[in-house]
Amino acid sequence: MLGLACGDALGTTLEFQRPGRFTPITDMVGGGPFGLQPGQWTDDTSMAICLAESLVHCHGFDAHDQMDRYVRWWREGYASSTGNCFDIGNTVRAALHRYEDSGDPMSGSEDPQTAGNGSLMRLVPIPLAYRHTPVQAHVAAQASSRTTHGARECLDACRLWTAYILAALEGSTRKEILERPWRELPGFEAQDALAPRIEAIAQGSFRLNTPPRIRGTGYVADSLEAALWAFDRSRDFREGALMAANLGDDADTTAAIFGQLAGVFYGEAGIPEQWRARLSQHDRLAGLGDALLQLSDSAPTGVSETGSPEAL
């Protein structure tokens, strides 16, 4: 949770900036399109808090509760670093409108043109809560995406990212995380298939490409590839987070996605202390991380393919 939020707060400075048209940042300085203070974060962290607090409060997966919390963030500024919802993606907003109208928590569009990064950016509470049940973690990852992002690439990106985080939670080395065949990662099975672009990333496209082919856009596949590129090419949290943010475009989300995996891999002490000290609502975020790990040890409620709770 701290890694996600630090990446988000770092990258907001360059959000919407076109690659090659800005001076790269070297620290967490705030500013950006929303004029934030250093350490304040955006929608990525707000939605992750909503998801994490729902999992803890409900002792597992409850799609209705998750969507109710997302609506509270959107309408009331719940879980915001400023008290207001100042940054929300079009795909998320449309899904929340559909939920308000229909009451169906699985309101994410399945249109491939809506394959944005809004479900991947908030994902880390899922693998933390279901770390002992990898297959169920994959089911929950897909269901958590379907609430706002139902496109196949979004579902598969969330599965793959969950598997990488689970591997890091198991104590795998960077080489073990990134180089083993993707079907051997936690939670995957031999018969599983991924959308073509997501499978190409799982097979190592992030190692073959460099900027400008590595892009930090709002497209989920670009975000996933960019976060993996930064994790693979860096040797500590600070270096990788800056690499992700300095891609520009959807910089806060690219860095937040990187921060999920890197935060687990390097641990809290591996995140620069000065960044953690500046982070808005640090104690809330750290406490949620601890609560999710505690939840994982106490048989959290699972989720069926339709999003309804079921006992593990």
Tokens for 216, please give them.
């930090």
Interatomic CA distance for residues 234 and 212, integer angstroms: 17
- For residues 244 and 230, is the Cβ–Cβ distance under 8 A? yes
Residue 249 assigned to a binding site? no
Q: Do the annotations mark residue 44 as ligand-binding?
A: yes
42 assigned to a ligand binding site: yes
User: Does 43 carry a binding-site annotation?
Assistant: yes
Q: How many residues does the chain have?
A: 312
- What are 86's two structure tokens? 């100042």
Q: Annotated binding site, which residues?
A: 42-44, 250, 252-253
Residues at the binding site for Mg(2+) are 42-44, 250, 252-253
